[in-house]
Chains A and B, each alone.
Chain A
Amino acid sequence: MDLRAKSRELLESGAVKAVIGFKDGTMGARRPVFVRQADKAAALVFDEGCRQNLAAYLTRNEVQKMGRVAVAAGPDTLRAILQLMAERQIKEGDVLPLAMEGTEAVELPTAQAVEEHLALKAKELPAADRELLARLDAMTREERWAFWQGELARCVKCYACRNSCPMCYCGHCTMDCNRPQWVPVPSHALGNLEYHMVRAMHLAGRCVECGDCGRACPVGIPVHLLTFHAEESVHRQFGQRAGASSRLDYALSTFRPDDKETFIR
Chain B
Amino acid sequence: MTDAFEPKITAFVCNWCTYAGADLTGTSRIKYQSNVRVLRLPCTGRIDFMLLAKAFARGADGIIVSGCHPNDCHYTSGNYHARRRWMVYRDLMDFMGIDTRRVTFSWVSAAEGARWAELVNEVTTSVRNLGPYAEYKELALAGVE
Contacts and interface: CB of A to CB of B under 8 A. Distances in A.
Contact of A198 (B50, B57, B84, B86): B50
Interface in B65-117: 70-71, 77, 80-81, 83-92, 94-100, 104-107
- Counting chain A residues whose Cβ lies within 8 A of the other chain, the interface size class is 35 or more
A231 B90 CA distance: 13
Given A194-B53, A230-B91, A264 B80 contact: no
Contact of B83 (A147, A226, A264): A264
Contacts of A143: 97
Interface stretch (B12-20, B27-35, B137-145): B137-145
A196 B94 CA distance: 14
Nearest to A225: B95
Contacts of B105: 263-265
Contact of B71 (A184, A204, A253, A257): A257
* Interface footprint category on B: 35 or more
A251 B84 CA distance: 8
Contacts, number: 111
Contacts of B98: 145
B86 A261 contact: yes
A142 B88 contact: no
A197 B96 contact: yes
Nearest to B67: A264
Nearest to B89: A201
A250 to B, nearest CB: 10
B88 A205 contact: yes
A263 B94 CA distance: 13
A130 interface: no
A233 B104 contact: no
Given A205-B88, A233-B91, A261 B83 contact: yes
A136 B96 CA distance: 9
Interface in B23-77: 49-50, 53, 57, 70-71, 77
A238 B135 CA distance: 32
Interface stretch (A19-27, A57-65, A102-110, A185-193): A185-193
A179 interface: no
B96 A148 contact: yes
B83 A233 contact: no
Given A136-B95, A197-B53, A230 B143 contact: no
Contacts of A197: 49, 53, 92, 96
19 contacts: A141-B99, A146-B97, A184-B143, A189-B139, A190-B140, A200-B92, A201-B49, A230-B91, A233-B91, A233-B92, A237-B88, A252-B85, A252-B88, A254-B84, A257-B70, A259-B84, A263-B100, A264-B83, A265-B104
Interface of A: 136, 141-149, 182, 184, 186, 188-191, 193-194, 196-198, 200-201, 204-205, 226, 229-230, 233-234, 237-238, 251-257, 259, 261, 263-265
Given A190-B57, A193-B139, A194-B57, 8 more contacts: A141-B94, A190-B142, A196-B96, A201-B88, A226-B96, A233-B88, A237-B91, A259-B87
